[in-house]
Chain A
Amino acid sequence: MKRFVLATLMSLVISDSASAQTLRFGFNEDVDILDPTLSRGYTTRMIFSALCDKLIDISPDLKFVPQLATSWSWSDDNLSLTLKLRPNVVFHDGEPFNAEAVKFSIERHQSMAGSQRKAELGPLKSVDVIDDQTVRLNLSAPFAPLVGYLSDRAGMMVSPKAARELGDKFTTAPVCAGPFKFKERVAQDRIVVDKFDKYWGKESINFDQVIFRTLPDATVRLANLRSGQLDLTERIAPIDVAGVKSDNRFVVEESTELGWNGIIYNVGAGEKAKGPMGTDPRIREAFELSIDRDGLVQAMSKGQYTPGNQWISPSNAYYVKEIPVPKRDIAKAKALLAAAGQPHPVITLVTPTQSETMQFAQIIQAMTREAGFDMKIQATEFATALDITQKGDFEMFTYFWSGRTDPDGNIYNFTACGAPLNIGKYCNPEADVALKAARQSADPDNRRKSWAQAAAIILKDRPMLFAFHRKYFWGRRAELKNFVAYPDGLVRFANLKLN
């Protein structure tokens, strides 16, 4: 009996459930709807990268590369995009992936009630099935960002049979054409996916199973990596990066995010736009000049984030080098405030209650005080913040944007007249012309010129303050090989393996 008790106790202490065939991946928040048409959350894309292949993917250096589509080309008038599809691909339910399936998925994105993809597909008019492996997307106006959106959730294809049969319940058992198929979901705890044996690129997939674990706290996530409970974790806190790097059992991978982080000013939405910030660009300029971006990223990330002043980071090919990141100039800021007759403007920054946004707001508050600003912080949880922004009930709003592969997704909807994310109701027809020109041309040089024109106008009007660009930090066990960091922050499972 004593031996039995001893053996049981020993097994309690030393048993280890880890399996070499399973990848255990920790991520920081619970995902929302497991349907590429309805999903909104950033983290849900992590799961989709295992479940749902896209028509187009990106490379680590942000080039568009084939995935379910092997090639694509614009018509001369940029009004149609023809895609050649990968042959011999099947969905998880065995249904064939072909031009009909693409037509179904795209039309589902466009017509399903509550679809989050409708706006991304822009002026898409119709989808033509040319043959089994060729599909043509017809537009009512040129829309170059379409390729970028097809490299995200709008390009994810679902099984028409499963989508029709499951209807609203599709999210409980999503059926796509990715390297893994859905097994189970325990809300706020884990999502388990199994290797799909008929995946078109199955030779590159080395795991039988991936377990996505929801671990919202960065300290806890890291403790799980260190204790051997995880093989890979995303979003290591910047403060922990040096510690993980110094431990040879683990490796830190990083990439600069596609998005931007800063402040949106209310310049035209209701009564709150009539304050000093909303009415006088000199005060917005003074506010910007009072910020030390190097100090900001030092305080927030020990200098690991990138200071920025545009909707894309300085390392992006479309960054307008002629307008560099401005230096702090308190004297000039004070002079501008004096010229505006507002030496001590009293202003309020509405800030969502995440730790990083709050930290950002507090640093900005301290920095701008030196120039004479009396900035209050109104901390607001997410649902209320959405309500406030929709009603225009804010002077300034802290906004962190995860970014899109095409720069259009980082700026057009925030600044074009009447665009959905333009919560500050900025509207400058000249900026609109430049922004529209950039989305209507498929030629990179033309787009670069148009965005440079837009930047010259928008960065002078200052409807927004672009402050910095974060980095994604992944921590992995040293035994996990072939991990490649992508700027969209998502994991590619091809070739990833545990030695």
Chain B
Amino acid sequence: MLRFLLQRLALMVPTIFFVSVIVFSLQQLLPGDPALTIAGDEASPAVVAEIRAKYHLDDPLPLRYGKWIAGLAHGDLGFSLRTQQPVTQLLAQKVPVTVELATLAMAVALTFGVLMGVVAAIWRGSAVDYIARSIALFGISMPSFWLGILSILLFSVKWRVLPASGSVSLIEDPIENLRSMIMPATVLGLVVSGVIMRHTRSAMIQVLSNDYVRTARAKGLAERTVIFVHALRNAALPIITLGALEFGQLLSGTVLTETVFSIPGFGKLVVDAVFNRDYAVVQGAVLCTAVVFLLLNLFADLAYAFVNPRLRTQ
């Protein structure tokens, strides 16, 4: 197991290197000049040239990449061209908020998604199944932006029970933090729960028709044990895979939800950085996202082994 873990960690290094090279090269293909974007249309060519020189934007690409990698080795991801803030500081501000939002949204998604999926599979074809599938379809079809605005109008403007936007540090004020996260996490979670419900339902339907489930029932096991110990555990593999991917998506930013609820998260940071040609921020954020995705894949693999003992020996 340890060897497997070390192998996977070692494989991450070339992958991250490859991602960094691709990002560094591809963003040079974007139309627009970062020096001009910072300087704006009022600036004279001399000012644009000054900015280009100040931020070494006219250095050859390999040299700039080398400097960036050298900085990375010291934990320095450079400065935002637009705001002059250190990229590490920007990421440090965004990552905790995004991780918290994604975790809470995932908790909502898994709770509703798995529960509805199991219930729909058990009573397949019944009214319960149709209701669960309708809720899932609603979750998948509703744009999070629209759902967010409606929630704000209802819970913040009309009833005034939850804050309309913003986020407070979990350490400074846990209650206010939770209040500000309830709506965005639920909106995001509902959207993801629809996808999880559909996968859970189909996996459970397949598993419930297997011989070992019939055997478990024939042994006289309680239905709860049959469903949750025998069936759900075997249906869990595709749910884990999907869950890891969805969690990765949530961690890499959810621009619309962040915009509606004014959550200072990762998604808005990346989108604004791309539009402002803020290369250092894009590079830092993409690198961070790549590491998160790789780690989540690793956790998913470990989770497979946890729920399915046969995979531990492979």
CB pair A229 B179 closer than 8 Å: no
Please, which residues of chain A bring their CB within 8 A of the CB of B31?
A: 383-384, 387
Give the complex CA separation of A32 and B79 in angstroms: 13
How many A residues touch the partner, as a band? 35 or more
Give the complex CA separation of A182 and B175 in angstroms: 27
- Residue-wise interface mask of A (172-204) relative to B, using a CB-CB cutoff of 8 A (1 in contact, 0 not): 100000000000011111100000000000000
B277 touches A (CB below 8 Å): yes
Q: How far is the CB of A253 from chain B (nearest CB, A)?
A: 21
Please, which residues of chain B bring their CB within 8 A of the CB of A40?
A: 38-40, 42-43
B71 touches A (CB below 8 Å): no
Q: How far is the CB of B249 from chain A (nearest CB, A)?
A: 20
- The size of the chain B interface, using a CB distance under 8 A, is 60
CB pair A114 B47 closer than 8 Å: yes
8 Å CB contact of B264 from A171, A186, A226, A389: A186
CB pair A227 B160 closer than 8 Å: yes
Give the complex CA separation of A189 and B261 in angstroms: 10
CB pair A383 B268 closer than 8 Å: no
Segment touching B, from A9-17, A254-262, A294-302, A490-498: A9-17
B90 touches A (CB below 8 Å): yes
CB pair A113 B50 closer than 8 Å: yes
CB pair B50 A187 closer than 8 Å: no
- Residue-wise interface mask of B (73-85) relative to A, using a CB-CB cutoff of 8 A (1 in contact, 0 not): 0000001101111
- Residue-wise interface mask of A (195-221) relative to B, using a CB-CB cutoff of 8 A (1 in contact, 0 not): 000000000000000000111110110
A116 touches B (CB below 8 Å): yes
B88 touches A (CB below 8 Å): no
- Residue-wise interface mask of A (369-407) relative to B, using a CB-CB cutoff of 8 A (1 in contact, 0 not): 000000000000111101101100000000000000000
Give the complex CA separation of A389 and B48 in angstroms: 14
Please, which residues of chain B bring their CB within 8 A of the CB of A228?
A: 160
Please, which residues of chain B bring their CB within 8 A of the CB of A433?
A: none
8 Å CB contact of A12 from B47, B54, B94, B178: B178
Q: How far is the CB of B14 from chain A (nearest CB, A)?
A: 32
Give the complex CA separation of A40 and B37 in angstroms: 10
8 Å CB contact of A223 from B30, B164, B166: B164
8 Å CB contact of B162 from A13, A382, A387: A13
Please, which residues of chain A bring their CB within 8 A of the CB of B175?
A: 8, 11-12, 15
Give the complex CA separation of A384 and B33 in angstroms: 8
8 Å CB contact of A114 from B51, B93, B164: B51
Contacts A15-B176, A220-B164; is A187 near B43 (CB within 8 Å)?
no
B161 touches A (CB below 8 Å): yes
Please, which residues of chain A bring their CB within 8 A of the CB of B259?
A: 216-217, 220
CB pair B36 A187 closer than 8 Å: no
Closest to A389 in B: B41
Closest to B269 in A: A188
Give the complex CA separation of A116 and B43 in angstroms: 6
Q: How far is the CB of B179 from chain A (nearest CB, A)?
A: 5
- Residue-wise interface mask of B (112-144) relative to A, using a CB-CB cutoff of 8 A (1 in contact, 0 not): 000000000000000000000000000000000
Closest to B155 in A: A227
B302 touches A (CB below 8 Å): no
B168 touches A (CB below 8 Å): yes
Within 8 A of A (CB), among B159-211: 160-168, 173, 175-176, 178-179, 182
Within 8 A of A (CB), among B25-78: 30-34, 36-44, 47, 50-51, 53-54
Please, which residues of chain B bring their CB within 8 A of the CB of A217?
A: 259-260
CB pair A119 B85 closer than 8 Å: no
A434 touches B (CB below 8 Å): no
8 Å CB contact of A384 from B32, B50, B93, B149: B32
CB pair A115 B47 closer than 8 Å: yes
Contacts A119-B42, A217-B260; is A113 near B54 (CB within 8 Å)?
yes
Contacts A17-B176, A187-B83, A214-B262; is A118 near B42 (CB within 8 Å)?
no
CB pair B179 A12 closer than 8 Å: yes
Give the complex CA separation of A113 and B46 in angstroms: 10
By CB atoms of chain A within 10 A, which of B33, B41, B94 has the most? B41
Q: How far is the CB of B294 from chain A (nearest CB, A)?
A: 26
Contacts A223-B149, A224-B165, A383-B32; is A114 near B54 (CB within 8 Å)?
yes
Contacts A223-B156, A227-B163, A387-B33; is A172 near B85 (CB within 8 Å)?
yes
Closest to A12 in B: B179
20 more CB-based (< 8 A) A-B contacts, given A213-B262, A220-B164, A413-B42: A11-B175, A40-B42, A119-B43, A119-B44, A171-B83, A188-B268, A188-B272, A189-B262, A189-B263, A213-B165, A217-B260, A219-B149, A220-B152, A227-B164, A383-B30, A383-B276, A386-B32, A386-B37, A387-B33, A390-B41
Interchain Cβ contacts under 8 Å between A and B, 20 examples: A17-B163, A32-B82, A113-B54, A114-B38, A116-B42, A118-B44, A118-B47, A119-B44, A185-B85, A186-B93, A189-B263, A220-B259, A220-B261, A224-B262, A227-B164, A383-B37, A383-B276, A386-B36, A420-B43, A420-B44
Residues on B facing A (Cβ under 8 Å) = 30-34, 36-44, 47, 50-51, 53-54, 79-80, 82-85, 90, 93-94, 149, 152-153, 156-157, 160-168, 173, 175-176, 178-179, 182, 259-264, 268-269, 272, 275-277
The 4 closest A-B pairs by CB, nearest first: A189-B264, A383-B32, A227-B156, A171-B84
